[in-house]
Amino acid sequence: MPKLADSFRELGITLPASTRFVIGLADFFLHQWYIVILGIAGIVFAIFSARRNARGKRILDTLVLRVPFLSEIIVKTNAAFTVRILGSLIAAGVPIVRALEITAHVLSNVHFQDVLFKGAEDVKKGAKLSQVFRQYGHVYPFVVTQMVEVGEETGKTADVFSKLADFYEAEVGAMTKNLASVIEPVLMLIIGGVVGFFAIAIITPMYSMVQSVQ
C-alpha cells in the first residue's frame, strides 16, 4: 500500500475519499501499531478490573442484561443453574434458606444473586419460595414462579426443579446453536463488505493511473 500511495502521488492522481481512508489506515497500522495493541490491552484490563470490583461487576452485569438475545441466554442460563442447584440441595435435605444462599454464591450475575440472598431473608421471615420468585419476577422468568408453586402444592419441589432445569438447559443449548448459525452469515457479509470496500478503494485510482499513463 505505501508503494501504491507513492505512485499515486507522483502521477498527481486525485484520490477518492475511500482510497485516502485506506491509505491513512494502512499508514496508521504501519507506524502506530503499538497504539492498537495498547488500546486492546487497555480494554481487556479494564473489563477484568471491573469484574473484580463490586461496583464495576454490577455495571457490567446490568449492561449484558440489556443486550438483545444475549440477555435471554443469560437469564435462562442463570435460571437453569438456580433450579438445578436448588433442586439438588433440597433433595439432599438442605434447608431452603441455606440452599438459597449456596446457590446465590454459585451464580455469576449479581442481579440473580441479589434475588436469592434477599429471598433467603424473606424465607427466614416466613415467606414461601414461590412468593420470593413472584416478588422478583422482573429478574427470573415467570415460569420459574409457576413451577415453584406446583412443587409446593405437590410436595415434589426437587423433582419439579430437576425437570425445569432440563428444560432450560435444552433451551440454552438450542439458543447457543442458533446464535452460531446467525453469526456465521453476518460475519461473512461483513468480511465481504470490507474486502469489497478495500478492493474498490485500490482499483479505482489504479484505473485512473492507467488512463493517465495512456
- Digit-coded pLDDT (tens) for 16-63: 777 778 777 877 777 787 887 888 888 887 777 766 777 778 888 888
Helix, strand, or coil (residue 88): helix
C-alpha cell at 80: 437453569
Our measurement of the distance from residue 138's CA atom to the centroid of its chain's CA atoms, rounded to an integer in Å, reads 19
Q: Cα separation of 131 and 137, whole Å?
A: 10
Indicate the pTM of the whole model: 0.70
123-140 per-position pLDDT tens digit: 999 888 888 888 887 888
Q: Are 185 and 9 in contact (CB under 8 A)?
A: no
Which residues neighbour 210 within 8 Å (Cβ) at sequence distance 6 or greater? none
Which residues neighbour 5 within 8 Å (Cβ) at sequence distance 6 or greater? 23, 26, 27
pLDDT at 105 over 80: yes
C-alpha cell at 121: 431473608
